[in-house]
Structure 1
Amino acid sequence: MLVFNWLQGVETLFDHIMNRALFVIFLVVAQFSMAQTKVGGIVTDEAGEPVPFANILLKNSTQGTITNDNGRFYIESDDSYNTLVVSFIGYETQEIALVSKVTLDIKVVLPEASEQLNEVVLYSGKTSKKNNPAIDILKKIWAKKRSNGTRMFKQYGYDKYEKIEFDLNTIDSALIKSKVFKGLEFIFQDLDTSRITGKTYLPIFLNETFSKVYGDNELATEKEEVLGSKNSGFNNNQAIIAFIEDLYSDYDIYNNYLKFFDKSFTSPLSKTGVDTYNYVLRDSAFIGDKWCYNIVYYPRRKNELTFKGDFWVNDTTYAVKNINLAVTKSANINWVKEIYIEQEFDVVNDSVFLLTRDYMLSDFSFNKKENSRGVYGKRTTVYNDYKFNEVRPKEFYKTKSDPFNVKVLNREDEFWEMNRLESLNSDEKGIYKLLDTLKTVPKFKTYYNFVSILGSGFVEIDKWNIDVGSVYSVFGYNEAEGIRGRLGARTYFGQNDPWRLEGYIAYGFGDDKFKYGISGKWLIDKETRFIISGGTRRDIEQLGISLSATNDVLGRSVASSSVFTVGSNDRLTNINLSTFNLEMEPWRNLRINIGGSLRSLSSALPDAFSLDYIDASSPTGVSSEVTQFDLNTTLIYTPGKRTIGNGVERRSINEDYSTLVLSYTNGLKQFFDSDFDYEKIQFSYTQPWQIGGYGRLLSTVETGKTFGEVPLALLSPVPGNQTLFSMYNTFSNLDFYEFVTDTYAAVHLEHNFNGRLLSRIPVIGKWNLREIVGLRGVWGDISEKNMQLSAPTGMQLLAPNDKVYWEYAVGVGNIFKFLRIDFNFRGNYLDLPNARPFGVTGSFGFYF
């Protein structure tokens, strides 16, 4: 039974989970180019202990790196060098002769320094915040950061070329000879080595984009026009594209916090960095023709979201010339073993520093062991041809380009030869050709299809242009249906389909009844996103887990198929629903939906749960079924939301946008034999807040009021939760229909500290747990007439009108990297019959 519950209840969760794990599908390769100098190894002290954060430099160059937490390093250059310089505060600098171009197992021993240098003040361990020349320089960077780069100009524009690559790493003979790659050995014909980690890797995926960016600082707006996009074989898989887009969002090193993988890392250039990092002024030298200071930084504490690295900063403008950032291995982040970033800036007009190149490498792995296999994700962004103070009208920035336009996706080779701001090396050039070859290999197609099913939940049948699924909703269970089987399908030609049909059929082995749902939607106009949609559904549903009535003809709540519940979970509803809707998006991220719905609602278990109401037209004076036609108008505003695809369905690629919903419903009596006249207005506002280095707060405010007399089936129950799953926007210690309202106001707050507090506790800090706190409350009322109308139900309808009902929760997440447990406490109304003062809920998920 538990299996049925999980498969049904976590369908949406699995879609989220697998989108974040799609890197495991990339099993292809190309050829490589050999760098001139490759050096790797370990740095220790005289006692043999690793020296973390030691400085590694190729002599007579500005090319360097820093050892990781285990003292290991790897550095690579296209030029030839014969000496390696290794240094660290408190130790004597060592110069190591490089006798060959490739040296990957070198061991460097640093003796303790007998005396300090006179040029600069040196620090070891935790550095002082006072009389530290590095921090004095840092303060000048803060003062100047808003007068550098494109911020110095009223308007700006530039060319942008982005290259994203994924590589299978840590390739060895055991992997090559494994059964997984039997018949695919040819892909290992040539391998390359990472200049960052020193690991052997296999290029498997490549995506290129060329665009022009325009901005106006006076209007506080920016526009990116994509002119070309090229994908190595996965351009029709929306899940993969969404995963990549969300994975690599833009960032600004001058911001106080840098967001990667849903986490906020403290920037070494932030004002809060003084409390987070140790800073050391290591060197000063000419970079080009500009005199610059070199500052090394490393974290003060373990288990926090921090970097280690160094940067060069100009001595007059205090603009950063170049910087590298490496995430510490102790950072509280899952599935990512390494993150390494390099940024380079160029000088314009002898004073302005502009970003010219941004490189980011992520090493995805199931654990952080040195030899664990995984997937590299590499993004290189090159900026060129900056232009300033070219005024464009406000309307120019409102229009947007379509990155999925056929012309954009099918640029000729000549376009890329002209617009690639960084040439492809030989292994990258081979990806496009090799992947096309691999797709003809049956074994590779099997791997690709299998993980594609895990990611999307659908089985693709290409020859019919149909997807069958979702595989996660095949089985379910509830008290009305018993064991439930379900099979669904949808049309799918590509992510830009102008129309789509979807449907499902289900059967309950307990009630011996078939259920079904079918819907269709058609995109009439791409500019305004004018969509016509409609559908019909006959099923059993757990209503009362949302303050808004469901108009979804295909969806199904987690609570509708929960095996393990608290109390009697028998308040299920038969629902026959038909809808017709018109939708358009006249302005970006503002959707207007106008439609109608016809519903028939009755109890699925009338012996246990009644929806009866007084009906003077009924021979008995009581009716058990509500038939209701509604006209609905809904405004949905999602500022900051980013999507991919330009078809009838689009996919969101970020989670940091707010959502405002205003809905007006008008019930029309006698229209289609409808039973009631009423009006309902509802408003909700959901906003995620990134609270610097203290995690993420999610907040929701909901209000609503129903005008007119309606029975229980059309009222607004306060969302309870009798399942063992943690569900946001519900009250975990309320039973379904425990409170029923026609007027309400609710607030939900949930804050995830991302381990900020627990990381500072000895022993526990190593477990990378994450603390979550929640607070939720609701006030509501119900009129005497509405209570009398539903008197035949035999239920005493209560509303929290005497005082605000509230709950609070304390949770621990990231248990074994995938489990979260919440401890929920009821704040009041404890004197009600069967009131639950305490409960435990949980959830599963693969989160960074």
Structure 2
Amino acid sequence: MYSSKNIYKLYINWLLLSLLLVVSGINATAVRAQGAVTTVKGTVRDAVSNEALIGVSVFVPGTSIGTSTDFEGNYLIRTNQSINKVQFSYLGYETVTLGVSPGQEQTLDVKLKTGAKQLSEVVVVGKKRKVKYSNKNNPAVDLIREIVDHKEQNRPEHYDYVQYEEYEKTQMSLVNTPEKLRRNIFLRKYDFITSNLDTTVLEGKALLPFFVQEQLAEHYYRKAPETRKTIVKAEKKVDFGEFIDNQGFTSYMQHMYQDIDIYDNNITILTNQFLSPIADMAPTFYKFYLTDTVTTESGRKLAELRFEPRNPAAFMFTGKLLVTIDGTYAVQNVEMEVAKSVSINWVRDLKINLDFEKNPDGRYHLSKSVIKTDFGLTQNSDAGMYGERVVSYKDYKVNEPQPASLYEGEAVVRVESAIAKDESFWQASRHDSLTAVEAKTYTNIDSLVNMKSFQRTMDWATALIAGYKRLGPNIEIGPLNTFYSFNPVEGFRLRFGGRTTTTFSKKYMLETYAAYGFKDEKWKYYLGGSYSLTDRSIFEFPVRSISASYQKDTNIPGQELQFVQEDNFLLSFKRGENDKWLYNETYSFNYLHEFENHFSYRVGFRNWRQSPAGSLQYLRPADAASGEAEPVGVQSLTTSEASLELRWAPNEQFFQGKLYRTPVANRYPVFTLRATAGIKDLFDSEYEYQKVALNVYKRFYMSQLGYSDVVTEGGYTFGQVPFPLLMIHRANQTYSYQLQSYNLMNFLEFVSDQYASVHIDHTFNGFIFNKIPLLKKTKLREFVTFKALYGKVRSENMPQGNPDLLRFPTFDDGRQATYTLENKPYMEASVGIGNIFNFFRIDLVKRLTYLDHPNVSDIGIRGRFKFDF
């Protein structure tokens, strides 16, 4: 699950990367040509009908330079490489090769003649049809249904064994017009960077690559028992140094650009789900047109199908398929894109190309996958980013079993020398060569991060954005946003702290702070340390570490499990009464052990002394039998707890930073089981009890309707304990929207010794707004949330009739402040809009039950930062 703290850190890393590119000057002061630019453009038409031909392959023979014609038959190629000819290729038509003049701009309008291998079937060109579209008696729909029926036998899982070599290249580039890059005042000292521009990809714009990653791996699949094994043979990527987390950035890039399986009903791209053109329900949502039927020179029959969404704003594709019609109905090629009418966060243009090769048994396997994405804050903005992921497959073998030992052990294994491969290895092993610009990016970024001026700039950028400022290479102070805050108990609060960095030690990490409240005139402090039991950082998966800490500080009852810092300045602003606090003195020790299969366990011990602060009082009911007339005040409670946490997150993905980790939601559930045992008389502990709680998180994808994040939780407390040791349900009186809290519940309002809850947060992903012309351009997203909580307190834990327990808190006027949930569940719901400035969400929250409680709000507006692509 996402926490507000970790999402904020994820957002920070992306802002730092933007500063790396913009503020620190990885843009261009001048465009320095790597050779004269050759521009070839024009229109391709049918020689007889003069009809514009869509999707014609236009390329430079012997290179990877190429494009395809759009829906008007237009094409454009720009390159600074020396070329002298361009080839035009289209199934069913004769291939044409024309000469061009290097270093010049020229227009070539081409008319293609039909080829001799074309069959006699009727060619239906769908884009220009004026007849009302129908699935009935539509040969294209009949063909799609055959493809759907044959999907399972065309998947790799159809074989008992599969193995292949995979080469992957991912690159990201900064985009802007050459003129704007040239005028950037921050770039003058980095002219060696700005000379490495590519002006051939996007018309009128320059690309400056800042991230390149390559990987070469062997993949093995076994059907029974089903096992997948990956052996990474070589890795190479740009190193940003200490300022940008390289591993975390790489992980997030992999999450954005996931593998595409055209045979899946839904295809995930950039965290959004798109309906596949050959999904089981594709004929319901797509229009299909049979545009060509041909026979290849080898005698294989192919059909070309055009497709487009019935709803232009839906999360679907536009493009064409080439499929076999010899009984296998396998996909041979896919060219598709997302129409500009589809609103995706940041994305201005997205194109996908999939190529398949024939196996010895006549079926097809994926041989190459290319995803190209143009990102920008607005559709018409010059500035942005361009991303490209190319994956190719070689040496594809089927039904050749390997020794059983190969499939044992971890699913992903990296050979020790993977990152040590030299350039001669890569030149011999790459499936496709790097461009000159991509190759130079490795050395340019390495030179940049070693420059003192760049390091100073990024140091201050980190302080301003991430909240930590370096004091030498080993220590950084922060978080800066906690240096000043205020609350009713401490009044004006100052805090100063810091931590060691991974430069100091990967195995050790120390963290400390001291704070002082000017109203209560008390010092608070924290000292903690962690030690890695592996040769990796204590944050690098899989973790095996021990940690210990001592803390003396304040907090709000029931908020110790929140992933927010209460001394964050912005969270100092709260609604309603907020004067029931605690002074805590806590000693803790933890051992964490994670496994490669994403199962982990944590064993811990905590000694906790809590004292009421502000208007909160710990009062035992008066015992008439002993002659007590008034409640008896209790100064503090002390407990000693042993804890065990089991967590299983199969196929978990996360954004890994140097000092944190942010899980990235996928379709797999996350199970967390927590058990705690209070041990009486150990280090002055006063109570014996046991607690158990199970939390299950799952994201449910609903294709065009978006997705729902569902969290269910239940817990039970055994033994007799006072209310501070019951489950104090997570409330929120700040103006920040907190996903795991009840945003209109008051602090300390409800307690339980047994409870069950459900949180449903549904994102429509533009399903509604994309259909409204004016709202579609805003790229806003719609959210609907529902939360329900039911619980109770057993009679043995109710203060009435139990003189050893503490009375439930009240307000100053004597009204009850803390309640149980026996009568009915607590419920609240909200509707929200998101993506304002691409990372902000605002919700209108409505409280549905217990509206008669004092000092509650039945409706409110809450906001939160949520950096998401």
Is TM more than 0.5 here?
yes
Alignment CA distance shift 1:756-1:467 (3 Å)? same
SS in 2 for 1:337: strand
> Does the CA contact (< 8 Å) of 1:149 and 1:352 recur in 2?
no
> Does the CA contact (< 8 Å) of 1:36 and 1:80 recur in 2?
no
> Does the CA contact (< 8 Å) of 1:495 and 1:645 recur in 2?
no
Alignment CA distance shift 1:97-1:647 (3 Å)? closer
> Does the CA contact (< 8 Å) of 1:277 and 1:297 recur in 2?
yes
* 2:713 pairs with 1:702: yes
> Does the CA contact (< 8 Å) of 1:722 and 1:734 recur in 2?
yes
* 2:325 pairs with 1:309: no
SS in 2 for 1:193: coil
Q: Which residue of 2 aligns with 1:500?
A: 509
Residue by residue over 1:80-110, the C-alpha shift from the partner in whole angstroms, topping out at 9 and shown as x without a partner, is 54576999xxxxx9x9988545776869899
> Does the CA contact (< 8 Å) of 2:792 and 2:822 recur in 1?
yes
* 2:144 pairs with 1:133: no
Q: Which residue of 1 aligns with 2:843?
A: 822
CA positional deviation for 1:615 = 11
1:17 maps to a residue whose letter is Y
Specify which of 65, 68, 72 is matched with residue 65 of structure 1: 68
CA positional deviation for 1:632 = 0.6
1:847 maps to a residue whose letter is D
CA positional deviation for 1:602 = 1.9
Residue by residue over 1:236-288, the C-alpha shift from the partner in whole angstroms, topping out at 9 and shown as x without a partner, is 62443333232222231221221122211222222333343332222234567
Residue by residue over 1:781-803, the C-alpha shift from the partner in whole angstroms, topping out at 9 and shown as x without a partner, is 11334331122744564211122
* 2:429 pairs with 1:419: yes
SS in 2 for 1:588: coil
SS in 1 for 2:218: strand
SS in 1 for 2:281: helix
* 2:360 pairs with 1:354: no
Alignment CA distance shift 1:59-1:844 (3 Å)? closer
> Does the CA contact (< 8 Å) of 1:612 and 1:625 recur in 2?
no
Question: Take 2:16 and 2:75, find their aligned partners in 1: how far apart are those partners?
Answer: 28
Question: Take 1:28 and 1:595, find their aligned partners in 2: how far apart are those partners?
Answer: 49
Q: Which residue of 1 aligns with 2:548?
A: 534
Alignment CA distance shift 1:54-1:472 (3 Å)? farther
SS in 2 for 1:184: helix
Alignment CA distance shift 1:65-1:252 (3 Å)? same
Specify which of 733, 737, 747 is matched with residue 726 of structure 1: 737
> Does the CA contact (< 8 Å) of 2:196 and 2:441 recur in 1?
no
SS in 1 for 2:594: strand
CA positional deviation for 1:320 = 1.7
CA positional deviation for 1:767 = 3.2
Q: Which residue of 1 aligns with 2:576?
A: 567
Residue by residue over 1:541-597, the C-alpha shift from the partner in whole angstroms, topping out at 9 and shown as x without a partner, is 22324xxx54x9x96358996343331122222222221112223562111111100
Residue by residue over 1:296-345, the C-alpha shift from the partner in whole angstroms, topping out at 9 and shown as x without a partner, is 22333333323222232222222222222222222221222222222211
Q: Which residue of 2 aligns with 1:122?
A: 125
Structure 1 stretch displaced more, 622-631 or 820-829: 820-829
> Does the CA contact (< 8 Å) of 1:750 and 1:772 recur in 2?
yes
CA positional deviation for 1:666 = 0.9
Matches within 5 A, 1:350-499: 351-369=362-380, 372-389=382-399, 390-393=401-404, 396-401=407-412, 403=414, 407-449=417-459, 457-460=467-470, 464-493=473-502, 497-499=506-508
1:203 maps to a residue whose letter is P
Alignment CA distance shift 1:233-1:768 (3 Å)? closer
CA positional deviation for 1:669 = 1.6
Alignment CA distance shift 1:778-1:653 (3 Å)? closer
CA positional deviation for 1:16 = 2.7
Alignment CA distance shift 1:200-1:647 (3 Å)? closer
SS in 2 for 1:415: helix
* 2:771 pairs with 1:760: yes
1:802 maps to a residue whose letter is N
Question: Take 1:535 and 1:556, find their aligned partners in 2: how far apart are those partners?
Answer: 17
> Does the CA contact (< 8 Å) of 2:678 and 2:687 recur in 1?
yes
CA positional deviation for 1:686 = 1.2
Alignment CA distance shift 1:413-1:495 (3 Å)? farther
Residue by residue over 1:339-388, the C-alpha shift from the partner in whole angstroms, topping out at 9 and shown as x without a partner, is 2222211111151211121121222222111x512221221112112233
Matches within 5 A, 1:406-805: 407-449=417-459, 457-460=467-470, 464-493=473-502, 497-525=506-534, 529-545=543-559, 550=561, 556-557=565-566, 562-585=571-594, 588-605=597-614, 608-613=615-620, 621-643=632-654, 652=663, 655-788=666-799, 789-791=805-807, 793-794=809-810, 795=816, 797-805=818-826
Q: Which residue of 2 aligns with 1:262?
A: 271
Residue by residue over 1:782-830, the C-alpha shift from the partner in whole angstroms, topping out at 9 and shown as x without a partner, is 1334331122744564211122222222222234544322222222223
SS in 1 for 2:144: helix
Question: What is the RMSD of the two structures over their aligned residues, measured on CA atoms?
Answer: 4.0
Residue by residue over 1:119-171, the C-alpha shift from the partner in whole angstroms, topping out at 9 and shown as x without a partner, is 41233367432333322222222122221242231122221111111222234
Flag structure 2 segments of 5+ consecutive residues without an equivalent. Answer: 46-50, 112-119, 536-540, 800-804, 811-815
Alignment CA distance shift 1:107-1:622 (3 Å)? farther
Structure 1 stretch displaced more, 765-774 or 534-543: 765-774
Structure 1 stretch displaced more, 750-759 or 427-436: 427-436
SS in 2 for 1:270: coil
Structure 1 stretch displaced more, 587-596 or 28-37: 28-37
Question: Take 1:174 and 1:529, find their aligned partners in 2: how far apart are those partners?
Answer: 45
Q: Number of residue pairs matched?
A: 812
> Does the CA contact (< 8 Å) of 1:161 and 1:208 recur in 2?
yes
Question: Take 1:98 and 1:268, find their aligned partners in 2: how far apart are those partners?
Answer: 37
Matches within 5 A, 1:288-307: 289=298, 290-307=300-317
Matches within 5 A, 1:115-264: 119-123=122-126, 124=128, 127-195=133-201, 199-234=205-240, 237=245, 238-264=247-273
> Does the CA contact (< 8 Å) of 2:715 and 2:754 recur in 1?
yes
Question: Take 2:568 and 2:501, find their aligned partners in 1: how far apart are those partners?
Answer: 29
SS in 2 for 1:562: helix
SS in 2 for 1:791: coil
CA positional deviation for 1:727 = 1.1
SS in 2 for 1:422: coil
SS in 2 for 1:399: coil
CA positional deviation for 1:443 = 3.9
Alignment CA distance shift 1:568-1:748 (3 Å)? same
Same amino acid, percent of matched pairs:
27
2:617 maps to a residue whose letter is S
* 2:40 pairs with 1:39: yes
1:580 maps to a residue whose letter is F
Question: Take 1:16 and 1:53, find their aligned partners in 2: how far apart are those partners?
Answer: 45
SS in 2 for 1:568: coil
Residue by residue over 1:410-469, the C-alpha shift from the partner in whole angstroms, topping out at 9 and shown as x without a partner, is 2333432343222223222222222232234344334544555677554456x5333433
CA positional deviation for 1:197 = 5.5
Q: Which residue of 2 aligns with 1:17?
A: 11
> Does the CA contact (< 8 Å) of 1:164 and 1:380 recur in 2?
yes
2:557 maps to a residue whose letter is L
Residue by residue over 1:659-718, the C-alpha shift from the partner in whole angstroms, topping out at 9 and shown as x without a partner, is 211111111122111121111111111111111221111111111111122222211122
